Structure 1
């Protein structure tokens, strides 16, 4: 049994689905179901006895303590986070509350639980903290990619809150001996991505004939990681990573935002042609956001060297699968856009928990 936090969000739900398919070990899934948490992502698990969903907040110490005592997990995989930079600019308090205070509460609960385990179980226990490359700040055009020893230079309320949580996890390992692992990933994309983020937003807007908003000059660079590759990397680190270590997870796919948008448009032109013309006609440049980091790039060689992981998907294969997934799941998109998935939640999970 493992405990996963944030397992109804984009990356968390992909992880839970892949975990049960690839590993088969039972999961307790704790998620507060804020706006981006969507139980419809986990529809196929409704009658799967290996998946126990609990609606709740990682900041609720009594709840976390109860779940640890009841289910006796051998590991905690911590995805739960507020993660959208734009939202952090307009409402930073929620990011400090969840990402900093929530992680602190989870660490303290984990420490109390771990310290009481029998010696063999205590040695095997792991706390895996999932973080972001944004904690490292911004790179220049010719700077080498981020390594695990790159100094922290967060530039947004979101990245600052994640940097703080990383520091807490490190301190709990060094001070208390809690066997913690941290992974810092690059930009994820793939199925179940909430359509406020770049790639799903471009797909959804293009299909509706709406403008495709691109910040500034569109030359901001990100390293793109297919979410299924990220899930595989987390499984490898959880199984074989050294406690106290940080591992960067990247896709070896540096692309400008504008290049990403043109790629999405070209795929849609091929897979779902628009009689009005190429979807690229909808590209619209908008005012840049404050503190917009120019470039991120991940050096994932430590993970490959020590644990043998490399991404299975290139950007070309991953983005094609992603676009096709959105074309194949219009109902999921419609429910997310309309908020209807919340009505479904109220009907099916009125009690706040389910299998």
Structure 2
């Protein structure tokens, strides 16, 4: 697990380090970092919004298939896949935007737990030397935070003199406090020691903003619940489970991770409101319907036709659009009826194809 944290945390650490070099504030570095990451995710959020609209546009046809093949799961799955291919819809296209925040969260945990590595860029040898001095045999994740705490404590300079004055000065100048909160401390540990305020605010705010983001999203886009069908109940359940999950995460990790989580939810809430204004779900759904129908009509169909070559009948295959294929089928049916009943044949028009 530590390897995963390191892999995800290393690129994020470089970004925060670059920001820290400019503003020299750990707290503000985390805030600016969070804003940058949320802005980078906007294109993915737009894609997810459009994907939900396409799902809503297909929902009536999918409901028909589910009802028709309710007792034949294999056939139902085949027909659903055929429908999605026909209209160019990929059900996995909306998964990435949902996964990105959790991937970043794991990286953030590594960054906040290891400021000596990511912010001060101390070598692993120096960090190990400091760890040997404190004799930290406990949780490796909290090792660097323990080192910082002890170096900055009274008498820390003498205790860690072997590290050299330059290293000690760097660590002592690293201020993890922001707005009265030590971003390296874990709320649950502080609460267990009787230090409730102000760290208690972090899990509370995380739960509140998590709930608000999901509530506003569902309220502004009720069609997403419609499109989800039976999964709509699960989405409602998630609206209550996610805040609990957020509270737990924020309680058990350093306050820096909790701060990122809260700011991310707050920006996400604003993002939901803005996206629903510029990418209205109802309008997107209608556009998706028109786009998918146009794609279906433009899809080529292979047909066979007989032609005369040097007096011999030859069967050739050619590609025609769905619209042309429908035209030929309707024309053939009309010709057959005209011959059968002795009626006049009427050419097929575009209006006939719309009916």
Return the structure number with greater helix share: 2
Q: Which has the larger radius of gyration?
A: 2
Return the structure number with greater strand share: 1
